[in-house]
Amino acid sequence: MRFLLSLVFLCFAIAAHAAPTEVPLGSELRAHLFDLARSPAVRQAGRPVKFAGSLKQLGNWAFFNGHVVDSAGQAVLVGDVKSSDTVVLWKQTDSKWSLVKCHVGVTGVCFLDWPLKLRSSGTFVWEVAQMAKQQTPHRK
């Protein structure tokens, strides 16, 4: 019985320290997630956009931190602050991905209150912060 409990705790410890992974360029998942975010992003930007930045997955969560760009790859500046910074959050439930949050033209860390609003675990809070820090630009 102790072995079984130790194994369960070990699995939780490994899962808690799992690192987010970049969703590969050209993958079906990357295309699907951006398709889910495209309509709200276009509505906020006021014109067609593409996503340039880092899209990482951690378990049943995915997080994008980057910019919206036009078809020529130029930044699409949004709002009074003239920012192309964009953050998007998705969650997978019962093998179906859904859009949770999409913010275009942000000027700061608008996702810091997401864990409280979404009642997410502390591990996820930490991983979102790490994902944002480890941004590596990619274009879709």
- 125 class by beta-carbon count within 10 Å (0-12 exposed, 13-18 middle, 19+ buried): middle
pLDDT of residue 127: 60
Each domain of the chain, given as residue ranges in start order, spans 20-133
Looking up tokens 């996820």 gives 124
Which whole-number Å values give the CA distances from 137 to 6, 64, 68, in the listed order?
40, 10, 11
Beta bridge partners of 103: 87
Do 100 and 89 contact (CB within 8 A), yes or no? yes
Tokens of 18: 């799992």
User: Which of these, 26, 102, 27, 120, lies nearest to 64 by C-alpha position?
Assistant: 102
How, if at all, do strands 61-69 and 85-93 pair?
antiparallel
Q: What are phi and psi of 35, to 5 degrees?
A: -65, -40
How much is the mean pLDDT over the chain?
Answer: 78
Average pLDDT of the residues in 121-134: 54
Tokens of 132: 């944002």
User: Which of these, 34, 20, 18, lies nearest to 138 by C-alpha position?
Assistant: 34
Protein fold of 20-133: Nuclear Transport Factor 2; Chain: A, (3.10.450)
The helix (H) or strand (E) run that includes residue 116 is helix 114-118
Give tens-digit pLDDT for 21-71. Answer: 999 999 999 999 999 999 999 999 999 999 999 999 988 889 999 999 999
First to last CA, the chain: 49
Its pTM stands at 0.75
pLDDT of residue 43: 96
